[in-house]
């Protein structure tokens, strides 16, 4: 069978029963990727990573797919295992889409990513890795998860102004989710998203920067922190969802900001050794400084999520985006 018609495996971590909307969303992504591959004339199979990773490895080895679309975001609901999909592909000897395990680990750990950003002279808000050690009055901070995505635990209550408030918040978070949390300086201001896509036609360390988006907080109450919280991401019926709107920086007067954000994106890509695709969240404080708050080396590929929206604004519809994500496959500029 010629390689271009060989089977592609779509690898994903099976959501646990009763999983939240963000985990269930992955099944919609699997279906969308299958449809796109069919449109591209590529046969595909799905491979679920369940309780037994060895069974998943055996299946990959038996299937011998020509490539894997790696959608694994964790294992049994735990994002600390985000690298597992890439590692299983490596162990099975198959090429996979997206980032290699080392980049997923470096960029996916929020505190590790911040340390690496600072090491490379890239801007990121000040932070306190051990929230219990905060004593001074340089508030406000956000209490953020060191590993989870999807705005877990983020929202109005994550904003703390005193060490006592931080301790109270941490008690709540530990009781509900366990896990590790840190404090990051809250950057009041605008929020931007830079989507980066590998471009085999360019130098390996220069990805294509897709159109840069801003999340506009529409009719936002003055006293409410501007945070894209869980509801804004996952609850279409909520006020937060309706009032956070995506716009692309496509006006002529956006050009300098757009260029500065694109440059930051390129520098992060090179500094973290990113491959495939990635999406950054960047805030601009009242002083005009850009600060990187989140590097997502494994962003959602849901057709309605930010990455696909940026690709579409850049002229890549969903099917062409999926073609561009396949490892080692060229795509049109
Ligand atoms: N330091 C910060 N200052 C202001 N807002 C922040 C900061 N960190 C996070 N946020 C808000 O919380 C949202 C989710 O945080 P983020 O770090 O991107 O985590 P996730 O991995 O859950 O997307 C951001 O999109 C932003 O609106
Ligand atoms: Mg984010």
Question: Using the 8-state DSSP alphabet, how is residue 96 labeled?
Answer: B
| CATH code, 3-96 | 3.40.50.20
pLDDT of residue 331: 43
Contact 325, 300 (CB under 8 A): no
Residue 2 pLDDT greater than 70, yes or no:
no
pLDDT of residue 235: 85
C-alpha 59 to ligand 2 mean position (Å): 33
What distance lies between CA 35 and its chain's CA centroid? 22
Q: Which CATH number fits domain 105-124+187-325: 3.40.50.1000, 3.30.470.20, 3.30.300.30, 3.40.1650.10?
A: 3.30.470.20
Contact 197, 266 (CB under 8 A): no
Q: Report in angstroms the alpha-carbon separations of 105 from 121, 238, 319.
A: 20, 33, 28
pLDDT of residue 155: 77
Show the ligand 1 pocket: residues with CB < 6 angstroms: 125, 142, 144, 149-152, 154, 184-187, 191, 227-228, 281, 283, 293-294
pLDDT of residue 203: 64
Question: Using the 8-state DSSP alphabet, how is residue 78 labeled?
Answer: B
Q: Dump pLDDT digits (tens) for 154-164.
A: 878 889 999 98
The first and second tokens of residue 14, run together, are 């099976």
The helix/strand/coil state of 192 is strand
C-alpha 53 to ligand 1 mean position (Å): 31
Least confident of 39-43, 179-183, 200-204: 200-204
With cut-offs at 50, 70 and 90, classify the pLDDT of residue 330: very low
Residues of the chain with CATH 3.40.50.20: 3-96
pLDDT of residue 150: 73
The first and second tokens of residue 247, run together, are 């716009």
Other C-beta atoms closer than 10 Å to the C-beta of 219 total 7
> Which residue in 249, 234, 231 sits closest to 290, CA to CA?
249
The helix/strand/coil state of 88 is helix
Q: Dump pLDDT digits (tens) for 53-107.
A: 999 999 999 999 999 999 999 999 888 899 999 999 999 999 999 999 999 999 9
Buried b (16+ CB within 10 A) or exposed e, 106-124: bbbbbbebbebbeeeebeb
Give the angle subtended at the CA of 85 by the CAs of 146 and 35, to the nearest 5°. 110
pLDDT of residue 94: 96
pLDDT of residue 276: 95
Residue 231 dihedral angles phi and psi, to the nearest 5°: -65, -40
Residue 4 pLDDT greater than 60, yes or no:
no
Residues lining ligand 2 (ion), CB within 5 A?
A: 281, 294
* Ligand 1, atom 25, residue with closest C-alpha: 228
pLDDT of residue 204: 62
Kindly give the number of the ligand 1 atom that is closest to the alpha carbon of 226: 27
Q: Report in angstroms the alpha-carbon separations of 196 from 32, 193, 202, 277.
A: 20, 10, 13, 5
Q: Dump pLDDT digits (tens) for 115-172.
A: 999 999 999 999 999 888 888 878 899 999 888 777 777 878 889 999 989 888 888 9
pLDDT of residue 332: 44
Q: Dump pLDDT digits (tens) for 239-297.
A: 889 999 999 999 999 999 999 999 999 999 999 999 999 999 999 999 999 999 999 99
The first and second tokens of residue 48, run together, are 């679920």
User: Can you tell me which residue has the tokens 């406000």?
Assistant: 140
Question: pTM for the full model?
Answer: 0.94
pLDDT of residue 5: 56
User: Which ligand lies nearest to the CA atom of residue 152 in the structure?
Assistant: 1
């Amino acid at each position: 069978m010629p390689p271009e018609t060989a089977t592609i495996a779509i690898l994903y971590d099976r959501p646990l029963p009763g999983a939240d909307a963000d985990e269930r969303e992955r099944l919609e992504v699997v279906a969308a990727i299958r449809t796109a591959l069919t449109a591209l004339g590529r046969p595909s199979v799905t491979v679920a990573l369940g309780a037994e990773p060895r069974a998943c490895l055996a299946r990959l080895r038996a299937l011998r797919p020509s490539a894997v679309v790696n959608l694994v975001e964790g294992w049994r609901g735990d994002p600390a295992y985000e690298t597992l999909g890439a590692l299983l592909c490596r162990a099975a000897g198959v090429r996979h889409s997206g980032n290699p395990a080392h980049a997923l680990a470096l960029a996916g750990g929020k505190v590790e990513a911040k340390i690496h950003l600072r090491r490379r002279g890239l801007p990121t808000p000040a932070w306190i890795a051990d929230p219990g050690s905060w004593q001074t009055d340089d508030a406000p901070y956000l209490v953020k998860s060191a590993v989870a995505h999807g705005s877990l635990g983020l929202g109005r209550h994550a904003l703390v102004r005193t060490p006592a408030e931080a301790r109270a918040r941490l008690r709540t978070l530990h009781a509900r989710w366990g896990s590790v949390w840190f404090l990051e300086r809250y950057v009041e201001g605008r929020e931007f998203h830079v989507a980066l896509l590998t471009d085999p036609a360019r130098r390996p360390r220069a990805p294509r920067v897709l159109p840069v988006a801003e999340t506009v907080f529409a009719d936002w109450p003055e006293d409410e922190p501007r945070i894209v919280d869980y509801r804004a991401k996952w609850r279409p019926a909520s006020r937060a969802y309706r009032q956070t709107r995506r716009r692309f920086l496509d006006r002529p007067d956006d050009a300098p900001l757009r260029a500065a954000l694109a440059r930051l994106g390129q520098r992060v890509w090179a500094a973290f050794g990113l491959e495939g695709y990635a999406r950054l969240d960047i805030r601009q404080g009242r002083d005009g400084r850009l600060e990187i708050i989140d590097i997502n080396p494994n962003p959602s590929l849901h057709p309605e999520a930010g990455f696909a929206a940026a690709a579409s604004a850049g002229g890549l519809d969903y099917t062409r985006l999926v073609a561009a994500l396949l490892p080692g496959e060229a795509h049109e500029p």
